[in-house]
Amino acid sequence: MVPTFVRSYHRSLGRASMAMLGCGLLLFVLAVAYLIPHDTHVDSVLNGRGVHVQGVVTKCVSVGSNDDGSTSANSHCWVRFAASDGRTVEAQLAYVSNDIERGRTVTVVYDPRDTGLVALPSSIGFWNTLGRNMVNGFALVASVVMLLSGSATLVWYMRLRARMKRA
């Protein structure tokens, strides 16, 4: 006879392994399907054929709040600028920013083939690109580790459960 607290612990272990599998799969899909392709596309296009122009920040929306309840410095911002063909374009910056506010004039880089693809030059600089690539790589490695750990724990749990049923 297996004590009740042992059965309860093992059920929790099974749920935890399923949660780890789910989170690992979600993180893997997010990294492979969105983060890596998006960042690679933005950086390569804007570094390759991007045009630098002056623009005005029209709106910034905070992406969250800090632990103390104050608003986060990171914001999604929109800029208005004149494209090389003379059209006035308003587009959201490809990356969050923490150092600009509404009404400020900034230099932006945009894709002349897709004027909706816009970023600050500092956002596509070497160190920011390297930092994003490291985060993307970490997300990919972490997701694989979570998937492998969750799978191993689930297999172990299933074997242990089978032994407990026999006992």
What pTM does this model have?
0.66
Cα separation, 91 vs 89, in Å, equals 6
Are the beta carbons of 56 and 81 closer than 8 angstroms?
yes
Output the pLDDT for position 4. 59
Q: Where are the beta strands (DSSP E) in the chain?
A: 51-62, 75-82, 88-92, 105-111, 114-119
Residue 117: DSSP 8-state? E
Per-residue pLDDT of the chain (167 residues; tens, 9 = 90+): 555 555 566 667 778 888 888 888 888 888 888 888 888 888 889 989 999 999 999 999 988 766 655 545 688 999 999 999 899 999 999 998 887 888 999 999 999 999 999 999 988 877 777 877 888 889 889 999 999 988 888 888 888 778 877 76
